[in-house]
Amino acid sequence: MSHSPPNGLPRYRLLTGKDDATFCHRVSDALALGYHLYGSPAATFNGDHVVVAQALLWPDATDTDAGA
């Protein structure tokens, strides 16, 4: 695995969006690229729908635990 994320993506990403299949696919796509989940997901209600967030971290060769 590369020491850097592909396509110039940052090492740390916080994905946010409506709690739906599209959001789940975005997280799944990032995991398939090699990102690791970082911490717990968060959820809130904006008065219309549930909004979720999930932090992701690109693993470093020196990382033993990505914080998940």
Give the residue, 4 or 66, on which the prediction is more confident.
4
pLDDT at 65: 56
Task: Tell whether the model's pLDDT for residue 63 goes beyond 90.
Answer: no
Confidence of residue 47 (pLDDT cuts 50, 70, 90): very high
Q: Residue 39, by phi and psi: left (phi above 0), alpha (psi -120 to 50) or beta?
A: left
Asked if the structure places residue 68 within a domain, the reply is no
Asked if the structure places residue 64 within a domain, the reply is no
pLDDT at 67: 55
Residue carrying structure tokens 């992701």: 56
- pTM, full prediction: 0.83
Q: Residue range 44-56: average pLDDT?
A: 99
User: Which domain, by its residues, includes 53?
Assistant: 11-57
**DSSP codes of every residue in 14-39:** EEEEESSHHHHHHHHHHHHHT-EEEE
Asked if the structure places residue 66 within a domain, the reply is no
Asked if the structure places residue 22 within a domain, the reply is yes
Asked if the structure places residue 21 within a domain, the reply is yes
